[in-house]
């Protein structure tokens, strides 16, 4: 730790051992100088970029070498120049788990020679001497090439040096672009790269440090989440819902097009300190308590609440959900009620006050009398950590691989890094969503140490300026290498002022924003689609009659339900691959601060998929403005007309040129979600 690394590089007394002339810097993706893996997705190509250059003007050749962590065989992909010494290659990610990569680069003497001879020929200089240099290079490289190229190159050398070959012919063979000698150039480069790791010519090549990406399933990149309290799913009011009721609700959730059904904790709930309706510290008979106050005589984190059913019922629910393409996500809330079995079995896992009592959860002066925090750094922490890992593995053994983690920022980073790595070693498809509504650096750290996705500040980003700035940070900075946002317009803890006051327009527009700005998003329902908007008190973001503290019965047949709209939005998301990614997000100027416009686009086998979204951020008044589209960036001919199909209203428009008028009224649908295509060419245009 205390040996400065800079000294090891520049000992003034000694000359360097080798003469690496090539520099490789600013490699992406990269997290904390390569100390942690970046994030990747199985089936996606992973772009790898770096600044690569040498002194002087020589031609560079470079490649990415990569392998899965369980394989010993390296593959490689040549990099292409992007300009300004930036290079890129895309490597295939074909399986889950860790993939290592490094960059190898060298000065390509033959390509340099080729380029310079071309320039000399163009200015009619004598190249006879250069021809000999080229033939020597050919000879030197061919001698060290692999057998495949060696024979071929050596034949060529013979041919070039035979007396029957004129200088012009020989030079012609060496520099010709469109004949067999194009192959020559490739062969020379490839022959050179193939022995880069050998001892010959070590001064010409350099290899970067090894970096790592962790590949997760596509669901980590693209998914619509639906949060629902199982106990509020009973068809009869005031009856405690069961897993069987949840099964009966699956078609409803599935028909809205969700990918993940996330259930708040399903475990037995403590009685000591139990909170009453609206979070009251006094609890009435029959109040069910908060599901996050986990543990009672009936069991702890591996038990299910008896009123919900049995573990077998839960297994049925998982199977039924999966059969509809729905993943079940469980809540990992690593805390206990005072009645959790661990309190008596493992008192050393809790904070004890000098008088022997256990400390409640608190954030002074606030107190949570129904919850004990666990002590992650007590003397017996290793046993506690293992027990918590056992909890996750227990639910994995019941078919759950998607987890929403409650308040991870109040537990040590080292714990999560260890837990997630341990789980993924056995179950690389596991997905962890971090529910850390806290300071930016802390949220980023949780993403760096392994969380697949994170809740964000989206809920409170309302103005055009806020949204554009936040999305730029999420999609255009190094944060995008490791931090995957999951946008929630509401949660059981977050009923924003905007939803409280904005009426239906707010519910529609916040849904469209979440679902199209971010490839991952979720809503807490049925509160969302039923437009539940009353807060517990003015200035509170808590719901009145929150499901956290009581059973609720929801009228899903309410004619004002937004369920059909939610279904449409999710169907659009599924149909349009552009919405499955965030990296192409681009904002377009529109001359009204109440209107925001952005696009996502992606090449597909049927042409470029282009989605253009315009949203009215004003929930009270119609707003209009002139949009200025960056047509070239969307792959559209700026001089040709193009077709827009509003996927929400099924309206069709033909536009020409970048400037176009848009008007959106909060009294109807306050958003456009356009599919855009060149006139006559768009599969979606009709």
3-state class of 38 per DSSP?
Answer: strand
Query: H or E element: which one contains 513?
Result: helix 503-517
Q: Which of 109, 267, 424, 479 binds its own copies (CB under 8 A)?
A: 424
Q: How far is the CB of 363 from its own copies (least distance, A)?
A: 6
Q: How far is the CB of 56 from its own copies (least distance, A)?
A: 5
Q: Which of 236, 285, 344, 364 binds its own copies (CB under 8 A)?
A: 364
Longest alpha-carbon distance in the chain: 107
3-state class of 612 per DSSP?
Answer: strand
Helix 180-194 vs helix 167-175: angle between axes, to the nearest 10 degrees? 60
Q: Which of 279, 412, 567, 658 binds its own copies (CB under 8 A)?
A: 412
Query: H or E element: which one contains 642?
Result: strand 642-646
Q: How far is the CB of 8 from its own copies (least distance, A)?
A: 9
Does position 126 interact with its own copies (CB under 8 A)? The reply is no
Does position 258 interact with its own copies (CB under 8 A)? The reply is no
Angle formed at CA 76 by CA 193 and CA 184, multiple of 5 degrees = 45
Q: How far apart are CA 295 and CA 275, in angstroms?
A: 14
Does position 429 interact with its own copies (CB under 8 A)? The reply is no
Torsion of CA 447, 450, 453, 458, to 10 degrees: -10
Helical spans, DSSP H, in 433-496: 440-448, 464-476
Residue numbers 533-552 binding its own copies by CB under 8 A: none
Residue numbers 168-227 binding its own copies by CB under 8 A: 203, 207, 209-212
Q: Which of 166, 178, 282, 363 binds its own copies (CB under 8 A)?
A: 363
The neighbour count for residue 224, using CB atoms within 10 Å, is: 22
Q: How far apart are CA 631 and CA 628, in angstroms?
A: 9
Q: Which is nearer to its own copies, 409 or 464 (CB)?
A: 409
Q: Which of 418, 581, 587, 653 binds its own copies (CB under 8 A)?
A: 418
Token pair listed for 49: 């970029």
**Nearest Cα to Cα of residue 588 among 681, 508, 676:** 676
Does position 413 interact with its own copies (CB under 8 A)? The reply is yes
User: Where does this chain touch its own copies (CB under 8 A) — which range of 118-126, 216-224, 288-296, 566-574?
Assistant: 118-126
Q: How far is the CB of 362 from its own copies (least distance, A)?
A: 8
Does position 686 interact with its own copies (CB under 8 A)? The reply is no
Q: Are 158 and 170 in contact (CB under 8 A)?
A: no
Q: How far apart are CA 549 and CA 660, in angstroms?
A: 50
Q: Which of 421, 497, 530, 545 binds its own copies (CB under 8 A)?
A: 421
Does position 16 interact with its own copies (CB under 8 A)? The reply is yes
Does position 4 interact with its own copies (CB under 8 A)? The reply is yes
Residue numbers 476-515 binding its own copies by CB under 8 A: none
Q: Is 11 exposed, middle or buried, given 0-12, 13-18 or 19+ CB atoms closer than 10 A?
A: exposed
Does position 411 interact with its own copies (CB under 8 A)? The reply is yes
Angle formed at CA 524 by CA 518 and CA 528, multiple of 5 degrees = 95
Q: Which is nearer to its own copies, 16 or 657 (CB)?
A: 16
Q: Which is nearer to its own copies, 142 or 257 (CB)?
A: 142
Q: How far apart are CA 498 and CA 503, in angstroms?
A: 8
Give the single-character DSSP code of 351. Answer: P
Q: Which is nearer to its own copies, 34 or 341 (CB)?
A: 34
Residue numbers 264-323 binding its own copies by CB under 8 A: none
Q: Which of 10, 147, 164, 166 binds its own copies (CB under 8 A)?
A: 10
Q: Which is nearer to its own copies, 385 or 655 (CB)?
A: 385
User: Where does this chain touch its own copies (CB under 8 A) — which range of 30-38, 267-275, 647-655, 671-679?
Assistant: 30-38
Q: Which of 82, 238, 319, 425 binds its own copies (CB under 8 A)?
A: 425
Q: Which is nearer to its own copies, 214 or 594 (CB)?
A: 214
Does position 73 interact with its own copies (CB under 8 A)? The reply is no
Q: How far is the CB of 370 from its own copies (least distance, A)?
A: 18
Contact pattern for its own copies over residues 602 through 641, marking x by CB under 8 A: ----------------------------------------
CA atoms within 13 A on the CB side of 165: 19
Task: Name every residue whose Cβ is closer than 8 Å to that of residue 206 and which is 6 or more positions away in sequence.
Answer: 20, 21, 22, 23, 24, 104, 105, 106
Does position 81 interact with its own copies (CB under 8 A)? The reply is no
Q: Which is nearer to its own copies, 130 or 601 (CB)?
A: 130
Q: Which of 55, 126, 177, 285 binds its own copies (CB under 8 A)?
A: 55
Does position 469 interact with its own copies (CB under 8 A)? The reply is no
Q: How far is the CB of 19 from its own copies (least distance, A)?
A: 5
**Nearest Cα to Cα of residue 328 among 228, 215, 218:** 228
Angle formed at CA 279 by CA 508 and CA 232, multiple of 5 degrees = 55
Q: How far apart are CA 206 and CA 242, in angstroms?
A: 62
Q: Which is nearer to its own copies, 83 or 286 (CB)?
A: 83
Token pair listed for 154: 């050596």
Q: Is 323 exposed, middle or buried, given 0-12, 13-18 or 19+ CB atoms closer than 10 A?
A: exposed
User: Where does this chain touch its own copies (CB under 8 A) — which range of 403-411, 529-537, 599-607, 635-643?
Assistant: 403-411
Q: Which of 168, 169, 312, 377 binds its own copies (CB under 8 A)?
A: 377
Q: Which of 70, 126, 199, 441 binds its own copies (CB under 8 A)?
A: 441
Answer yes or no: 406 catalytic. yes
Does position 69 interact with its own copies (CB under 8 A)? The reply is yes
Q: Which is nearer to its own copies, 163 or 441 (CB)?
A: 441
**Nearest Cα to Cα of residue 268 among 299, 311, 232:** 299
Give the single-character DSSP code of 491. Answer: B
Q: How far is the CB of 342 from its own copies (least distance, A)?
A: 19
Q: How far apart are CA 244 and CA 231, in angstroms?
A: 11
Q: How far is the CB of 78 from its own copies (least distance, A)?
A: 20
Token pair listed for 494: 């977050």
Active-site entry in 435, 547, 601, 618: 435
Answer yes or no: 547 catalytic. no
Q: How far apart are CA 542 and CA 593, in angstroms?
A: 29
User: Where does this chain touch its own copies (CB under 8 A) — which range of 324-332, 442-450, 599-607, 631-639?
Assistant: 442-450
Q: How far is the CB of 512 from its own copies (least distance, A)?
A: 31
Instruction: Determine phi and psi for 127, rounding to 5 degrees.
Output: -110, 10
Token pair listed for 64: 């990415």
Q: Which of 70, 199, 353, 538 binds its own copies (CB under 8 A)?
A: 353
User: Where does this chain touch its own copies (CB under 8 A) — which range of 113-121, 153-161, 464-472, 589-597?
Assistant: 113-121
Q: How far apart are CA 489 and CA 499, in angstroms?
A: 8
Active-site entry in 320, 331, 370, 406: 406
User: Where does this chain touch its own copies (CB under 8 A) — which range of 12-20, 88-96, 169-177, 573-581?
Assistant: 12-20
Give the single-character DSSP code of 145. Answer: S
**What is the distance in angstroms between the CA of the first residue and the CA of the last residue of the chain?**
64
Q: Which of 44, 417, 473, 493 binds its own copies (CB under 8 A)?
A: 417
Q: What are the distances in angstroms from CA 498 to CA 51, 459, 502, 526?
A: 45, 9, 5, 18
Question: Which residues belong to the active site?
Answer: 406, 435
């Amino acid at each position: 730790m205390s040996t400065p690394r800079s000294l090891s590089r520049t000992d003034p007394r000694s000359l360097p051992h080798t003469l690496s002339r090539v520099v490789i810097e600013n490699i992406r993706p990269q997290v904390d100088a390569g100390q942690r893996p970046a994030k990747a997705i199985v089936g996606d190509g992973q772009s790898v970029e770096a600044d690569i250059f040498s002194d002087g003007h020589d031609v560079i050749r470079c490649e990415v070498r990569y392998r899965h962590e369980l394989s010993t065989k390296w593959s490689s992909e040549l990099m292409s120049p992007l300009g300004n010494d930036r290079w890129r290659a895309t490597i295939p990610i074909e399986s889950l788990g860790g993939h290592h990569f490094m960059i190898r680069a060298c000065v390509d003497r033959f390509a340099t020679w080729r380029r310079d001879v071309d320039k000399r020929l163009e200015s009619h200089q004598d190249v006879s001497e250069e021809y000999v240099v080229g033939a020597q290079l050919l000879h030197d490289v061919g001698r060290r090439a692999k057998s495949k190229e060696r024979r071929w190159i050596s034949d060529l050398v013979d041919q070039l040096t035979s007396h029957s070959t004129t200088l012009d012919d020989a030079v012609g063979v060496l520099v010709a672009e469109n004949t067999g000698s194009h192959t020559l150039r490739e062969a020379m480069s490839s022959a050179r790269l193939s022995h880069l790791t050998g001892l010959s010519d070590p001064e010409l090549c350099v290899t970067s440090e090894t970096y790592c990406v962790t590949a997760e399933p596509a669901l980590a990149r693209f998914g619509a989440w639906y949060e629902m309290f199982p106990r509020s799913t009973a068809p009869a009011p005031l009856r405690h819902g069961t897993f069987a009721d949840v099964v009966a609700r699956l078609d409803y959730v599935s028909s809205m097009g969700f990918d993940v059904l996330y259930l708040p904790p399903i475990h037995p709930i403590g009685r000591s300190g139990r909170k009453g309706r609206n979070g009251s510290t006094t609890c009435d008979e029959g109040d069910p308590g908060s599901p996050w106050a986990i543990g009672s005589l009936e069991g702890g984190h591996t038990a299910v609440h008896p009123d919900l059913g049995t573990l077998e019922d839960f297994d049925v629910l998982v199977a039924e959900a999966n059969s509809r393409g729905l993943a079940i996500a469980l809540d990992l809330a690593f805390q206990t009620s005072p009645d959790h079995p661990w309190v008596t079995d493992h008192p050393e896992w809790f904070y004890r006050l000098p008088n022997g009592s256990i400390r409640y959860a608190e954030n002074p002066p606030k107190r949570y009398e129904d919850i004990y925090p666990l002590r992650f750094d007590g003397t017996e922490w290793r046993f506690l950590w293992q027990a918590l890992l056992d909890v996750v593995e227990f639910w994995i053994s019941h078919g759950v691989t998607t987890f929403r983690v409650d308040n991870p920022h109040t537990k040590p980073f080292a714990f999560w890094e260890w837990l997630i790595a341990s789980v993924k070693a056995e179950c690389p498809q596991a997905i962890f969503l971090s529910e850390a509504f806290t300071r930016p650096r802390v949220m980023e750290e949780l993403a760096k140490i392994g969380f697949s996705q994170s809740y964000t500040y989206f809920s409170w980003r309302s103005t055009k300026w806020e949204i554009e700035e936040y999305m730029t940070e999420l999609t255009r900075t190094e944060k995008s290498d490791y931090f995957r946002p999951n946008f929630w317009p509401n949660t059981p803890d977050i009923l924003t002022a905007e939803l409280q006051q904005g009426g239906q327009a707010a519910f529609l527009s916040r849904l469209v924003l979440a679902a199209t700005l971010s490839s991952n998003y979720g809503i807490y329902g049925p509160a969302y689609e039923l437009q539940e908007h009353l807060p517990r008190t003015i200035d509170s973001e808590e719901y009145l009659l929150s499901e956290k503290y009581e059973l609720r019965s929801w009228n899903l047949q309410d004619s004002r339900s937004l369920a059909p709209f939610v279904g449409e939005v999710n169907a659009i998301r599924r149909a349009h691959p552009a919405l499955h990614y965030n990296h192409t997000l681009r904002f377009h100027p529109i001359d009204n601060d109440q209107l925001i416009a952005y696009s996502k686009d992606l090449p597909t086998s049927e042409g470029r998929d282009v989605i253009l979204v315009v949203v009215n951020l004003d929930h009270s008044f119609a707003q209009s403005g002139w949009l200025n589209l960056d047509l070239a960036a969307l792959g559209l001919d700026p001089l040709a007309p193009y077709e827009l199909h509003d996927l929400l209203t099924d309206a069709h428009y033909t536009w020409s040129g970048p400037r176009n008028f848009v008007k959106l009224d909060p009294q109807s649908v306050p958003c456009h979600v356009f599919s855009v295509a060149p006139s006559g060419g768009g599969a979606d245009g009709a």
